[in-house]
């Protein structure tokens, strides 16, 4: 669900991808967000 929300924010132009940061307790899911959407990951 978070991926859909982040994608909608990026696609609509409301928030530039450079202003989006993501975290997830699963390193694999976090890596996927980085690779597919270009967000910055934080732990």
pLDDT digits (tens, 9 = 90+) for 1-43: 789 999 999 999 999 999 999 999 999 999 999 999 999 999 8
Output the pTM of the full model.
Answer: 0.77
Q: What is the pLDDT of residue 2?
A: 86
Listed by start position, the domains of the chain span 2-41
Query: Exposure pattern of 5-43 as b/e (b: 16+ CB <10 Å)?
Result: ebeebbeeeeeeeeeeebeeeeeeebeebeeeeebeeee
């Amino acid at each position: 669900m978070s991926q859909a929300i982040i994608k909608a924010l990026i696609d609509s132009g409301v928030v530039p991808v450079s202003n989006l940061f993501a975290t997830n307790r699963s390193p694999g899911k976090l890596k996927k967000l980085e690779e597919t959407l270009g967000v910055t990951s934080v732990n």
